[in-house]
Chains A and B, each alone.
Chain A
Amino acid sequence: MHSSPLATIKNKLLFVACWLAWALLFVWLLYHWGYNWQASLVDMLASNALLAITSLFLINSLRYYRPGKSKYLYMLTVCAGITALWNSVIYFGVRPLVEYDVEYHQFLVKSMAVRYFIALLITGCITLMSELWYALQEQKETEIRRAEAEKLARDAELYNLRRQLQPHFLFNSLNSISALVHSRPEEARKMIQQLSDFLRGTLKKEENQWTSLADELDHVQLYLEIEKVRFGYRLHTEIVADDASGNCRIPHMLLQPVVENAIKFGLYDTTESVTIRIIARLEDNYLTLTVQNPFDPHTSSPRQGTGFGLSSVQRRLYLLFSRSDLLETNATNNLFTTTIKIPQL
């Protein structure tokens, strides 16, 4: 809700003072023209008070309902109607008060048309000014909202960058390369290549774009290959994708955090040989991705529901499809399973 132009005490006083000055100006003018000053005082105070109330009504109505851009003719019509109403109230309500002064009474009746147009000019101006006031307020609010939205987007982007770069993974991989350089330079070179390709894929700014499952799996595979160099002797992977699923569409970098999660609990927190399994199937127009990893219930306790911090994946699926049933997790027999369903359009 926009604030009214009369919200401050200063503006309220100014509003009342202007109307009072305006009314007294006319009393003084009529007195000079030779009319009864008492009758003109009653007339002017009553008429202008009514007009001030009419203006207040217009200012406030615009606060709650604005007819929209370029509907000036409509606003003029409303003003004309309301001013006509004001005119009739003066004719039937104020006129009888000055009937005792025949001269003034005659003047009042004659000036009805002039009064109407002066009043219309005033209400018209007030309406226009309010409209401009509210438009300015609206613009300011939009500006603030946009700035906030931009800040949120920036924060999210930074967060994503930090998360994607995974300092722990990166520095450990570099350490492995450092070891390989001396003993197995060919492998070191291969790993540099893989790490570069992986980082390049990560830095692609396509958070909101879609990619084919085949491409997403390639990226995941690069990641797993690097982890195999680090933990070769105990990491095994199985990726099974049926033929139909290869061309399926998937939001860019949606599978990656799920696999990272599987590695975090399946590999980083276990001491035995582990198998990470990724299965992709096309079923009833849904691409179903299943990621499985073993875990140790003594050191990490998966919660049911979103499970091991998969909430960002859940959130993204919700933003994309307005559904919260597309991610499921299940922990049985020391095996943690994450299932994502992606509707194919």
Chain B
Amino acid sequence: MIRTIIIDDEPLAREIIKEYLQSFPNISVVAECNDGFEGVKAIMHHRPDLIFLDIQMPKINGFEMLELVEQAPAVIFTTAFDEFAIKAFENNAVDYLLKPFSKERFEKAIRKWLDNRDAGNEKTTQALLEQAGESPLQSQRIVVKTGNRIRIIPANNIQYLEAADDYVKIHTSEGAFLKNKTMSFFEKTLNAQQFVRTHRSYIINIQLIHRIDPYEKESYLAILTTGAQVPVSKSGYMRLKTVLGI
């Protein structure tokens, strides 16, 4: 039996997927979710094989929700209109359904998934999320999960980012949060005029720089207004100078 979850904030949009799924008796819907928060919980709880995921939803969008799920299941995206998302889908050869979609189109997507099952799905999902992160909305905030709580951190609240093994530690005024992403991801997605990679392991919010002191040979130390001290390498110092215009 294939287990699936439908995540969409519109009841009728979920209804049509359930209706179309009636032609697939071996697929059962184990949960329906109204938003990304419910989606994360349901995925953790049910561990489905496949999810149908809407992009535009309240609070956090479909991509942000996927970021919060470890070992994401296979996804068939559904969206009405989102130029950015569609571009991301096309670049990453991910199957998606444009609402309103026909039964034939829906069945084609399911068959395609059944045929390709377990064929490196995870990699395409990661690449897709990397690109989706560059959308204007997502570059202004970072969504993190601590225990069972989901937090949305506005970019302005970020003090600096620090590499921590497979994670990135996000330092904010409300404490530090871990996110399973790479430094280069944040370097690419966050506003380059505000966030500068000053070191292999650090990205800082330049609005909070209090002063920059020399430190050891050819390296520096940025002192933030919060008192935090962040290392600045030689090349990081050059980048910092370009952005600050000095």
Instruction: State the A residues within 8 Å of B (CB).
Output: 167-168, 170-172, 174-180, 182-183, 229-233, 268-271, 296, 298-299, 301
Contact = CB atoms under 8 A, between A and B. Distances in A.
Contact of B12 (A171, A230, A296): A230
Given A168-B82, A301-B154, A175 B58 contact: no
Nearest to A268: B58
A208 to B, nearest CB: 29
Contacts, number: 72
A178 B10 contact: no
B99 A172 contact: yes
Interface in B16-54: 16, 19, 34-35, 37
Contacts of B56: 168, 268
Given A171-B98, A268-B58, A269-B58, A176 B37 contact: no
A264 to B, nearest CB: 11
A168 B56 CA distance: 9
Given A270-B58, A299-B58, 12 more contacts: A170-B81, A171-B99, A174-B100, A175-B80, A176-B12, A229-B12, A231-B9, A231-B11, A233-B11, A271-B9, A299-B59, A299-B152
B13 interface: yes
Interface of B: 9-13, 15-16, 19, 34-35, 37, 56, 58-60, 80-82, 98-101, 152, 154
If over half of B's interface residues share one DSSP class (helix, strand or loop), that class is named, otherwise mixed; here it is: loop
Contacts of B101: 175
Sort A-B residue pairs by CB-CB distance and give the 4 closest, nearest first.
Answer: A171-B80, A175-B99, A179-B16, A167-B81
If over half of A's interface residues share one DSSP class (helix, strand or loop), that class is named, otherwise mixed; here it is: helix
A175 to B, nearest CB: 4
B37 A175 contact: no
Given A178-B100, A268-B56, A298-B152, A183 B10 contact: no
Contacts of A171: 80-81, 98-100
Contact of A177 (B82, B100, B152): B100
